Structures are given as structure tokens and as C-alpha cells.
């Protein structure tokens, strides 16, 4: 071989080596079909679903940890890890039995003692868990697969508590991990769910990787939300966090990612025009927009003024500010509960249909409004709250209230809304937020509907009729009784204006056409999702 | 020289101490509560208080500062409030992408901007000069994210030549690494190119007026040698100064560029930490960047001595 040929060959070899090798042969390109790249709604900064109750943590946790029960698409709790349950005639003793053959990702069997400790940790942070523990006599493992929960007073909603998909869900962890203080983070991420968390590849804020757990034993039933058989059709799921929606849209169009959880409305038309992309509603349970008034200080310590605001507001203005012109994405909501669900009610909701500015102005004057400024906290870094805030400020001015527009960020709102100081001294009169429809199906985990004064959510409403109706719902033994309680609750909550619902709105999800099995739901369900 | 370097390193200590106190104090008085963010929207005030106590955020300022400062002196930047991971580990995870982006940007900027500035000075007041200076104005005027979007649209979406987003480590191959950095580096480099080109032109114009340049021309030295051998070397001091100062621009610009192109670098880490009020990360990253900036300024001062033998410390 002459020198020129040698140099050319060596140079070519070096170039090939630096490019990471030759192109993958066709066989190994099939491996790519087993990797699903997903853009989640937010940054997965921590991964303890009991300690951190953000939706994104719950969504990821559902891959790694299984639950005893899970709600299906009809909102009916179904057995998941549980094989059977029994409740004594007096309703005080619940006995549960685990399915056989369940294993954790470290190969250890799932035992009743793991369940007991996991439930203890969960119950320390979950509103329904706290209620159960308040009535608890004992929670113990009977044998390796059986445990019992003995109460002092019947709790008919036990299965719902264990099945609900509101954070924190009752995820089952190994006993040693579940012994972590519920107000401190776990450091190991071992579960018995269909995917294992790859901690070595986790870059908090940028990437999270889940790998198929081959020893997972799915149920035989068809999958339906958090119930049924969780069959994984991909080997690896990569969560790619993309803070910029335009980048996520471009990456989806380019095929660099496969599924985007929540594209913003502005970009949906662009995605729809792409023949390789499907766009559809993500969660039929949607969201409920809200603003909360501070019941402790003027002017909103006066229920007449609160009701005047409800009377004047036009939910269409709020919803169009959030979703734009797409009528499929919103509907008015004369109440507090998720539409098209079994317990939905509009009882007492006429006040939200009045949309009468003049009448509201008159009511405010008659209520004796003295011109106190309304300190309105509006987070500018959250599109929903910014949009709603702009509408509210305009509304308040039209009905004659003085507005102090505080443009800030969500972190500051989170800190300031907890202050019970007067509005002029670091407190507040109003802030905007929204609630996932899955959290607003009933009062079970609906912290925002409570009106127990100091213990209530920010705004600290006090209303005995609301609290009585909630107790009535918890004690209700059948659906008609629950519906009666819900009607009373909705009416009382509007009468005392626990908060102001601004409407019901939906969002989209988008995925490439070679991805199959994507369903609608309150969280992204990865089981039965495949790639062609 | 070594004495000078040693003295400069010594002066870094009080500078870093001041930066540490300043950033800690700023975060302490800034509004926001990480415990509330962690606890989530549905948490009760009691939950938030327990989390705050568990994180030690309810302790007095001086206690918290002293504890943190003494740990930093031992090389421990603390633990992230949100992830529970050591701050140094989180920085180490993110440093390669940011460093790669800055190095490639610097490389592109220097090798594009300096020749541009030289040519603009050489062809002063011609259409070439005007084109170059217009480009410089554009580079200063158009926001980084707009440039990023346009480049991504043209070269990634339409032409499909380059990826839209992401980062691949260099251990996976040089070309895949570089391929992912081209668009972000050009995006970030725009304003840097504009700055360096303008300073190069101004500095060259001044040097080209000098007597020794006229002498070199009279002696028949080629234009290329005059420009790149004689003039550029003498014009280099202000150029190197601006390149050094511009590293701060790069750091700031990296935040936007990393967000636009979804690069998992330190810029994004910092923004996420600020939004979440993850104090240990913010403190750790600011300290690190301050230290790097001090070192770069030292390097620039040392480079002066190489470029101009008259400069001695």
C-alpha cells in the first residue's frame, strides 16, 4: 500500500470513528421503535409522590409504583394489587388480601408489611388518609399477603381513598423506603409498577428514563385508566423536559419526540396541519378555573360584595382568554364540580348566569364598600393565571372596585397567599389558580371547597352549611344520598362564595401517528402505548 | 508574573466571600417559599410549615449563612431542596453541555467575527464595511430566542439538516455532539459576533492609521501580512478584553439558548432553580460562575503580556 492510500484510509477511519461509528444497520433501528420519547407538562425535579404532590410527580410515579386499587374511565374503583377485600358488617374492619406473585423492582416480593408502612406514610399527607387515621384503631399485617384496617367509625369511602388518582395516591413502596418521614424525600425509587426508574440517567429538570420491568404481572382485565392490565409495549420511556413550547412543537413535527402531553392552544393549529401528527383532547375531566377572595379582610369579608363579583362575571370571557376561539375546549360552569360526571350539579348556580355589571355595581354600593384597594396577585409566568387575572382586573374596575394589580411570579404567589396579614402589609385580597377536574369530582380530596375557616385553603372561607354538606356526603351510603349532599354543597358554596369558578376548560395532547394506544385521561397512561 | 498570578488568586478569596454573602442575602429577602412549592397546591399551612422546618428554612439568617458558608469552604455546596441530590453533582451533570455550547460559540464567534472586523476596517466606508456593520447592528438588535426560532425553522424543520433540540455527549461521537450544537452556537454567537466584529473594526482602524503600517506598505509588505501579522496583533488587546467580558454575555445568553434548544445545561438549571426557589442550587451556580469569571479575567490579563511584550506585571 502506498503512503497516499494509507493516509486516506487512516483519515477515513478516524472520521468514521469520530462520527460515532457507521450508521446503524436496519436490524438495530428496530430498537428505536421500543423507545417512547415523551414531553411532560412540567419539570420532574423530584420523585417522591408522597412528599411532592405536583401532578407531574404523580404521573411519573404511576409508572414505577402500583396502587392497591385504581379508578377506571367510569370513575369506578377497581382492584389492582388487591385480590380481595372484606368489610365487617359493622363497617369497622377492613381486611385486604394481595394478589400473589407481586414483586418489587429489586426482586423482593411485595408483602403486607410493605403495604401497611406505605399506607401509614401516605395517610400522613393525604386528606382522606388523615380522616381515616383520625378514626383508626389499628392498621396491621395479618400475614404476608393480608392486612387489616380497623376503625372506630365506619368510613364508606375507604376504597375510593385507596383508588383515587388525586395526589398523593396510595403508592406501595418497600417497607424500608416507606419508613422515610413523610415530610422528607425518599432516596430510592423502587416500586412494583410496570416500569423501573433509571436513577443513573436522571437529569432532574432535563430528562427522566423508565425501563420495562420484565417481572411485572399485569392483571388480566383490559386496561382502563389506573385499573386493569398495565401491559407495556415499549421497553424504554424517555421523558424529555422542554421548557419552550415552540421547541416541543418543532421536535414533535421533526420526529425527535413522539408524544407531547400539553401543547399550548396557539400551536395546536400548526400541529393539526402536520399529516404525521394526531391532536386530541388530553383529559375529558378537564380543569376548573378559579379565583379566590380573602374572606378575612375587606372588601371580601363581606359576602354581599363577594356575591356581587359572581353576579357580574362572564365565564366566557375567562375561558376565551385561556383557550382562544376553540369552542370545543370550554363550557360554562355554574358550580364547583366537574361536568359530565356522576355527581355533577348546578344547584344554586343561577348567580353565575346573571352577568349583570350594573346590578353588581349597585350591590357593592349597597353593601357599603368604602373604596378599599383590592390587592390582586397575578402570576405572569403561568399563562392561565395571567389570562384570568387580566379579565378579573377589568371586571373589578367595571363594578367599581379599586384594584391594586400585583404582577408577580407563581412562586411569590405561593408564598404570599399563605400570609394572613392585611393586604396592605404583605397580604392579599385575591389570587387566581385552577384545579384539575379529576380533583373536583367530589369533596373527598377537594381541599379548595372546604370552608372550615382557619383550616381551609387560602382565603380561609367559613361556612357551616358547606361543612355540614361535606360531612353529609362522606356519610352517604348510596348515590342518591351523595347527590343530595352535593346539591346542598354546591348551593352553600356559591351562597358563601368559597371561591369563584371561572369556567371549565380542556386541553389538548399531540402525538405522532406511528404511536398507537394513546388514550384520554387525567394523566398520561403509558400502558398499551406502542410505536410502529 | 507568577507573583502577579498568585496575588490575583489571593484577591479572589474576598471577592468570592462578598459574592457568597450578597447572593445568600438576596435570596433570603426575595419573596417566595420553596416549602410551599414542594408541598403543592393542596397542602395545608401545617404541611408547609413542617416541610420548611425539615429543610431548615425556619432558622435565623446568620445560622443558615454560617452553616452554608463553612460547608462551602470545605467544598460542599449543599443539597438541592427539591431533588435531594448534592448541588455539586447536579452542576457536574450540567456542566458539559454548557461548556460545550460556550466553547463552540466562542470558536465560531472568534473565527467569524475577527476576519469580519478586519475586512470591514480594511474596506472602510465601502459597501463591504456597511454590510458587516449592518450585520453587527442586527446581531445586537434581534433577540436571541428569535434568532433561535428562525434558525430552527429553516435548518431543522424545513431543510431537516440539523436537529431541533437536545444534546448528545461527546463520548457518543464528535459529529453527533457537534451536530446538536451548531444551531444553538450560531444563535448564541450572533450577538457575540456582532460585538467582536465592531470592536475589531474600531481597533484595526486605529492601528491602520499608525506610522509603522504606512512604513510597512511603503516597504512593499503584502496587504495580508499587514492586516493579519502587523495590524491585528497590535489591535488585539481591546479585542481580547471584549472577548473576556463577553463571556458574561455568553453565560446570560446560554440561559435563553438552552431553553430554546432544550439543552440540559447550567443556564436551564439556574432558571429552574430560581423559579422553584431552590436556594442551594442558585447559590452554588452563582458562586461557580463568579469564580469562572474571575479566572477568565485573570487569563485575559495574562494574555495581554503575550500579545504586548511591553506589558509586565
Give the integer Cα–Cα distance in Å for A133 and A392: 40
A415 alpha carbon, distance to own chain's centre: 21
By Cβ distance, the residue of A18, A46, A53 closest to B43 is A53
Contact A162, A77 (CB under 8 A): yes
- Closest-CA residue in chain B for A58? B40
Contact B153, B162 (CB under 8 A): no
β-strand A530-531 against A195-197: which pairing, if any? unpaired
* Cβ contacts of B272 on chain A, cutoff 8 Å: 43, 45, 205, 243
Instruction: Verify whether the Cβ–Cβ distance B40 to A43 is below 8 Å.
Output: no
β-strand A530-531 against A136-141: which pairing, if any? unpaired
User: CA of A529: how far to CAs of A225, A233, A236, A532, in Å?
Assistant: 13, 6, 11, 10
Instruction: Verify whether the Cβ–Cβ distance A412 to B173 is below 8 Å.
Output: no
Residue B250 Cα, gap to closest chain A Cα (Å): 19
Contact B196, B246 (CB under 8 A): yes
Residue B48 Cα, gap to closest chain A Cα (Å): 9
Chain B contact probe: residue of A24, A59, A247, A438 with most B CBs at under 10 A:
A247
Average pLDDT for consecutive 10-residue bins of chain B (313 residues)?
81 85 86 76 75 84 89 89 91 93 92 92 91 87 92 94 95 94 94 90 90 89 85 85 82 87 93 88 90 84 79 73
Q: Where are the alpha helices (DSSP H) in A105-258?
A: 112-123, 127-134, 158-163, 175-178, 245-254
The per-residue pLDDT for range B26-35, each reduced to its tens digit, is: 888 887 778 8
Instruction: Verify whether the Cβ–Cβ distance B165 to A256 is below 8 Å.
Output: yes
Residue A54 Cα, gap to closest chain B Cα (Å): 6
Taking residue A343's Cβ as centre, other Cβ atoms within 10 Å add up to 20
By Cβ distance, the residue of A256, A414, A457 closest to B166 is A256
Instruction: Verify whether the Cβ–Cβ distance B173 to A19 is below 8 Å.
Output: yes
Residue A46 Cα, gap to closest chain B Cα (Å): 5
Residue B223 Cα, gap to closest chain A Cα (Å): 35
By Cβ distance, the residue of A19, A125, A243 closest to B174 is A19
Residue partners of A185: CB distance under 8 A and separation at least 6: A46, A48, A51, A52, B84
Give the integer Cα–Cα distance in Å for A326 and A264: 12
Question: Would you give per-residue pLDDT tens digits along chain A (532 residues)?
Answer: 444 444 444 444 444 444 444 333 344 445 566 999 999 998 898 899 998 888 999 999 999 999 999 999 999 999 999 999 999 999 999 999 999 999 999 999 999 999 999 999 999 999 899 999 999 999 999 999 999 999 999 999 999 999 999 989 999 999 999 999 998 899 999 999 999 999 999 999 999 999 999 999 999 999 999 999 999 999 999 999 998 999 999 999 999 999 999 998 889 999 999 999 999 999 999 999 999 999 999 999 999 999 999 999 999 999 999 999 899 999 999 999 999 999 999 999 999 999 999 999 999 999 999 999 999 999 998 889 999 999 999 999 999 999 999 999 888 898 899 889 999 899 999 999 999 999 999 999 899 999 999 889 999 999 999 999 999 999 998 999 999 999 999 999 999 999 999 999 999 999 999 999 999 999 999 999 999 8
* Cβ contacts of A60 on chain B, cutoff 8 Å: none
A266 has a chain B CB within 8 A of its CB: no
Instruction: Verify whether the Cβ–Cβ distance A243 to B262 is below 8 Å.
Output: yes
Which of A 102-121 lie inside 8 A of B, CB atoms?
none
The per-residue pLDDT for range B252-286, each reduced to its tens digit, is: 788 889 999 999 999 999 988 988 889 999 999 98
Instruction: Verify whether the Cβ–Cβ distance A242 to B165 is below 8 Å.
Output: yes
Peptide bond into A77 cis (omega under 30): no
Instruction: Verify whether the Cβ–Cβ distance B84 to A52 is below 8 Å.
Output: no
Q: pTM higher than 0.80, yes or no?
A: yes
A18 has a chain B CB within 8 A of its CB: yes
* Structure-block grid coordinates of residue A531: 410505536
Chain A contact probe: residue of B165, B171, B269 with most A CBs at under 10 A:
B165
Chain A contact probe: residue of B83, B187, B267 with most A CBs at under 10 A:
B83
The SS3 call for residue A471 is: helix
Q: Where are the alpha helices (DSSP H) in chain B?
A: 2-29, 34-39, 45-54, 61-73, 87-122, 127-141, 144-151, 174-208, 211-218, 223-225, 232-260, 266-276, 279-307
Instruction: Verify whether the Cβ–Cβ distance A45 to B276 is below 8 Å.
Output: yes
Amino acid at each position: 500500500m502506498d503512503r497516499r492510500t494509507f493516509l486516506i484510509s487512516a483519515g477515513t477511519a478516524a472520521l468514521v470513528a469520530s462520527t460515532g461509528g457507521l450508521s446503524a444497520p436496519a436490524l438495530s433501528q428496530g430498537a428505536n421503535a421500543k423507545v417512547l420519547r415523551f414531553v411532560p407538562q412540567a419539570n420532574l425535579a423530584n420523585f417522591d409522590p408522597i412528599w411532592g404532590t405536583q401532578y407531574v410527580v404523580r404521573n411519573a410515579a404511576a409508572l414505577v409504583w402500583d396502587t392497591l386499587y385504581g379508578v377506571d374511565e367510569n370513575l369506578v374503583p377497581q382492584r389492582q394489587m388487591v385480590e380481595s377485600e372484606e368489610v365487617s358488617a359493622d363497617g369497622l374492619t377492613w381486611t385486604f388480601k394481595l394478589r400473589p406473585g407481586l414483586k418489587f423492582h429489586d426482586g423482593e416480593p411485595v408483602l403486607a408489611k410493605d403495604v401497611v408502612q406505605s399506607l401509614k406514610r401516605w395517610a400522613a399527607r393525604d386528606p382522606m388518609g388523615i380522616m381515616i387515621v383520625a378514626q383508626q384503631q389499628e392498621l396491621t399485617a395479618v400475614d404476608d399477603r393480608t392486612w387489616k384496617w380497623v376503625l372506630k367509625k365506619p368510613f364508606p369511602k375507604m376504597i375510593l381513598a385507596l383508588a383515587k388518582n388525586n395526589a398523593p395516591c396510595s403508592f406501595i413502596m418497600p417497607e424500608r423506603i416507606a419508613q422515610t418521614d413523610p415530610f422528607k424525600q425518599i432516596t430510592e425509587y423502587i416500586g412494583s409498577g410496570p416500569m423501573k426508574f433509571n436513577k443513573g440517567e436522571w437529569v432532574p429538570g432535563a430528562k427522566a428514563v423508565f425501563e420495562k420491568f420484565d417481572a411485572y404481572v399485569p392483571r388480566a382485565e383490559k386496561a382502563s385508566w389506573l385499573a386493569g392490565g398495565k401491559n407495556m409495549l415499549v421497553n424504554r420511556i424517555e421523558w424529555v423536559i422542554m421548557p419552550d413550547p415552540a421547541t416541543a412543537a418543532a421536535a414533535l413535527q421533526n420526529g425527535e419526540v413522539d408524544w407531547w402531553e400539553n401543547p399550548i392552544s396557539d400551536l395546536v393549529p400548526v400541529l393539526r396541519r402536520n399529516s404525521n401528527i394526531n391532536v386530541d383532547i388530553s383529559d375529558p375531566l378537564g380543569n376548573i378555573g378559579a379565583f379566590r377572595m380573602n374572606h378575612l379582610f375587606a372588601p371580601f369579608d363581606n359576602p354581599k360584595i363577594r356575591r356581587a363579583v359572581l353576579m357580574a362575571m362572564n365565564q366566557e370571557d375567562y375561558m376565551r382568554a385561556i383557550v382562544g376561539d376553540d369552542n370545543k375546549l370550554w363550557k360554562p360552569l355554574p358550580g364547583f364540580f366537574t361536568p359530565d360526571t356522576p355527581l355533577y350539579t348546578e344547584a344554586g348556580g343561577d348567580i353565575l348566569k346573571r352577568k349583570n355589571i350594573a346590578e353588581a355595581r349597585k350591590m357593592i354600593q349597597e353593601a357599603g364598600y368604602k373604596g378599599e384597594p383590592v390587592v390582586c396577585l397575578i402570576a405572569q409566568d403561568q399563562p392561565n393565571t395571567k389570562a384570568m387575572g387580566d379579565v378579573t382586573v377589568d371586571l373589578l374596575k367595571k363594578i367599581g372596585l379599586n384594584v391594586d394589580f400585583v404582577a408577580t411570579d407563581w412562586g411569590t404567589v405561593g408564598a404570599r397567599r399563605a400570609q394572613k396579614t392585611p393586604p396592605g402589609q404583605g397580604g392579599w385580597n385575591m389570587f387566581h389558580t385552577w384545579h384539575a377536574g379529576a380533583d373536583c369530582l367530589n369533596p373527598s380530596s377537594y381541599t379548595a371547597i372546604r370552608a372550615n375557616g382557619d383550616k381551609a385553603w387560602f382565603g380561609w372561607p367559613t361556612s357551616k352549611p358547606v361543612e355540614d354538606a361535606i360531612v353529609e356526603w362522606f356519610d352517604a351510603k348510596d348515590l342518591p344520598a351523595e347527590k343530595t349532599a352535593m346539591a346542598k354543597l354546591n348551593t352553600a358554596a356559591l351562597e358563601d362564595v368559597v371561591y369563584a369558578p371561572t369556567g371549565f376548560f380542556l386541553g389538548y395532547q399531540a402525538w405522532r401517528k406511528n404511536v398507537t394506544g394513546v388514550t384520554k385521561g387525567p394523566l398520561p397512561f403509558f400502558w398499551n402505548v406502542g410505536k410502529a | 508574573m507568577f507573583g502577579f498570578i498568585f496575588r490575583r488568586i489571593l484577591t479572589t478569596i474576598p471577592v468570592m466571600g462578598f459574592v457568597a454573602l450578597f447572593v445568600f442575602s438576596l435570596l433570603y429577602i426575595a419573596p417566595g417559599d420553596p416549602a410551599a412549592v414542594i408541598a403543592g397546591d393542596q397542602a395545608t399551612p401545617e404541611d408547609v410549615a413542617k416541610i420548611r422546618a425539615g429543610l431548615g428554612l425556619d432558622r435565623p439568617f446568620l445560622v443558615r449563612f454560617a452553616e452554608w458558608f463553612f460547608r462551602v469552604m470545605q467544598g460542599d455546596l449543599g443539597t438541592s431542596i427539591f431533588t435531594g441530590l448534592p448541588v455539586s453533582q447536579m452542576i457536574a451533570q450540567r456542566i458539559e453541555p454548557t461548556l460545550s455550547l460556550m466553547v463552540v460559540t466562542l470558536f465560531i464567534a472568534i473565527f467569524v467575527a475577527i476576519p469580519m472586523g478586519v475586512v470591514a476596517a480594511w474596506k472602510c466606508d465601502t459597501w463591504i464595511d456597511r454590510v458587516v456593520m449592518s450585520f453587527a447592528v442586527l446581531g445586537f438588535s434581534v433577540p436571541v430566542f428569535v434568532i433561535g426560532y428562525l434558525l430552527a425553522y429553516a435548518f431543522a424543520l424545513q431543510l431537516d439538516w440539523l436537529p431541533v433540540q437536545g444534546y448528545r455527549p461527546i463520548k457518543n461521537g464528535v459529529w453527533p455532539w457537534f451536530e446538536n450544537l451548531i444551531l444553538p452556537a450560531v444563535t448564541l454567537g450572533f450577538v457575540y459576533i456582532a460585538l467582536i466584529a465592531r470592536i475589531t473594526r474600531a481597533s484595526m482602524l486605529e492601528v491602520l492609521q499608525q506610522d509603522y503600517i504606512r512604513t510597512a506598505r511603503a516597504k512593499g509588505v503584502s496587504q495580508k501580512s499587514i492586516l493579519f501579522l502587523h495590524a491585528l496583533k497590535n489591535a488585539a488587546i481591546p479585542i481580547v478584553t471584549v472577548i473576556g467580558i463577553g463571556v458574561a454575555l455568553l453565560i446570560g445568553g446560554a440561559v435563553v439558548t438552552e431553553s430554546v434548544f432544550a439543552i440540559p445545561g447550567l443556564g436551564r438549571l439556574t432558571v429552574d432553580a430560581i423559579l422553584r426557589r431552590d436556594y442551594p442550587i442558585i447559590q452554588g451556580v452563582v458562586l461557580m460562575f463568579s469564580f469562572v469569571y474571575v479566572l477568565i479575567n485573570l487569563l485575559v490579563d495574562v494574555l495581554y503580556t503575550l500579545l504586548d511584550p511591553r506589558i509586565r506585571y
